[in-house]
Structure 1
């Protein structure tokens, strides 16, 4: 990997590892809808002019209905679910559950008959599922909110479905145009909802700053950096950040928010990580063709 590729990789690992921290700070005061609306609006405000300047928006607009479906499954639905869930679970736990995205992706590739499972990938899926069972089973027994867990698993599934949709229907459309239009369409839904029911009290500067970071850094800048990373190291190697982001989320949650590492997280997460690496050892064609990241996060996570 070149020096530029290494710098971009490190930047993306951080940028898509911190959303859980800032979501936890902002959602406590703003609630899920205003938080998601702010993130979408800020991301669109940066990417839409850039896409227009580069002529990428017109091609995406010709496929606006597919882009709208992508916006729903990759941004509008999972970002609300994640924000709502993080009102009841620690940010580190949320990041580790979202680490199951590669497992969902490998399962989808096999289920859609686009990828032969093979022994190594089958073992990876089994190991990963065992890790999920330990991660969730132990923590649910310890009192973790079951509804929040279900929401986080739904987020991980959405993050796995999004790239499949793009690869199948939008593979020839510029990625910048797809994501800029998706952000704008989702923002057009959320911003009016946020204006109808604004926060009861004026948010603090940390809450507002967290929304700014989520929109400008974790969304707009993240997409630009990720496109650069793909150009530098290739799509398959770029998606390795999926394995690093949860560790960043865990570290930040513990160090900055004082969250504890539960037994389920300590035992289950390593198995999820090992299973994800094995299950995605031979990258499916979908991951190579997709102009957007596999995961959280992204997420844009």
Structure 2
């Protein structure tokens, strides 16, 4: 990759690794629904001008039903569940659980697409990954309670399902248009619950949670989409999705350094199993050799086709 590609990659690993820490801080004083509204509303305000300038918004709202479904599955429901769960569990634990999203995505892809084969390598990856999740959940079974664990499970299923909606019904819709429109719809969905509570919230919230909510909206939502789309344009979709395997480690390190959360060798072992399982379960065979052509491959996406790793279908969660 180019130097610019590495810089974008590093920035994305941090930008989508820090939300778990910020959510943990924000929900100390801000309710889950209010936090999701602030995040979606401010994110929409920042991304809408870009989508309008690129003339991508109109095309994104035409398939309104898939857009609504995508907003609920990829933004509204998982962000709400994530915010509520982090009132009871550590941010580092949350990041590791979400790291299992590619595992669920591989299963969902197999169920919904018969062309997706479960090879021996993929099965081994799924077993290793789910063993890591089981080890993680078993180690933390006494903390947070079953409701929080179920909420995190719901987040994983949502993040694994959302990209399928993009792939099947919104694949031709411009990226900035989808991002901006989904944030607008998300803000509209949460407005009836959140807006009446905002005046009281503004009077009582302290600087820490307020800045965390602002950071979620500006850095982890609006800026994150801009950087991610730039990363895809620079290095191709396959390489860009590798951030899925890195940002959980960022979440663990930040939780340990900033919040003093517990990190043990069991945490490391669980993450290693989840990481290995995610990579193996999303691998695909390299394409058969073809005769050399006179013309070079024109796009980064085409050049990535022989990399041997299929981009996880859940690699674009909005965290």
- TM value normalised by structure 1: 0.93
Give, in angstroms, the shift of residue 41 of structure 1. Answer: 0.5
Deviations 1:113-166 (A, max 9, x none): 2411211111101110111111112210x4342211111111011111111111
Q: Distance in 1 between matches of 2:143 and 2:69?
A: 35
Alpha-carbon distance change, 264 to 143 in structure 1, aligned in 2, over 3 angstroms: farther
Change (3 A) 1:230 1:77: same
Q: Secondary structure at the match of 2:28?
A: helix
Conservation of the 8 A alpha-carbon contact between 2:100 and 2:156? yes
Is 2:152 the counterpart of 1:132? no
1:233 to 222, 235, 245: 235
Q: 1:292 to 1:67 in 2, by over 3 A?
A: farther
Give the match for residue 293 of structure 2. Answer: none
CA contact (8 A) 2:43 2:183 kept: yes
Q: Of the two, which has the highest radius of gyration?
A: 2
Query: Which residue is equivalent to 1:224?
Result: 226
Deviations 1:230-260 (A, max 9, x none): 1111111111000000000000000000100
Q: Which stretch has the larger CA shift, 175-184 or 188-197?
A: 188-197
Query: How far apart, in 2, do the equivalents of 1:135 and 1:270 lie?
Result: 11
- What is the alpha-carbon root mean square deviation over aligned residues? 2.1
- Unmatched 5+ stretches in structure 1: none
Give matches, 1:2-81, under 5 Å.
2-81=2-81
Once the two structures are superposed, residues 168-192 of structure 1 have per-residue CA deviations (whole angstroms, 9 ceiling, x without a partner) of 0011110110111000001011123
The equivalent position to 1:246 in structure 2, one of 239, 245, 248, is 248
> Does the 8 Å CA contact 1:39/1:214 hold for their aligned counterparts?
yes
Please identify runs of 4+ aligned residues in structure 1 that moved more than 6 A: none
Bigger Cα displacement from structure 2, 227-236 vs 13-22: 227-236
Preserved contact between residue 81 and residue 151 of structure 2 (Cα < 8 Å): yes
Matches within 5 A, 1:81-230: 81-112=81-112, 113-140=114-141, 142-198=142-198, 202-230=204-232
> Which segment drifts farther, 255-264 or 271-280?
255-264
The yes-or-no answer on 1:294 pairing with 2:295 is no
Task: Tell me, yes or no, if the aligned pair for 2:105 and 2:313 is still in contact at 8 Å.
Answer: no
SS at match of 2:171: coil
Shift of 1:283: 8.8
Shift of 1:195: 1.8
In structure 1, distance between residues paired with 2:156 and 2:208: 27
Count of residue pairs the alignment pairs up:
294
In the TM superposition, what whole-angstrom CA distance separates every residue of 1:187-228 from its partner, at most 9, and x where no partner exists? 011123112234555211111111111011100111111111
Gaps of at least 5 residues in structure 2 are 287-304, 306-310
- Secondary structure of the residue aligned to 1:29 is coil
Structure 2 Cα separation of the partners of residues 133 and 144 of structure 1: 16
C-alpha displacement at 1:292, in angstroms? Answer: 11
Normalising by structure 2, what TM-score?
A: 0.88
Report the secondary structure of 1:24's partner residue: helix
**C-alpha distance in 1 between matches for 2:188 and 2:37:** 9
Distance 2:256 2:69 in 1: 36
Instruction: Check the 8 A contact 2:106/2:312 in 1, yes or no.
Output: no
For the residue of structure 2 that corresponds to 1:172, the secondary structure is: coil
Q: CA deviation at 1:49?
A: 1.6
**What displacement does 1:109 show?**
1.4
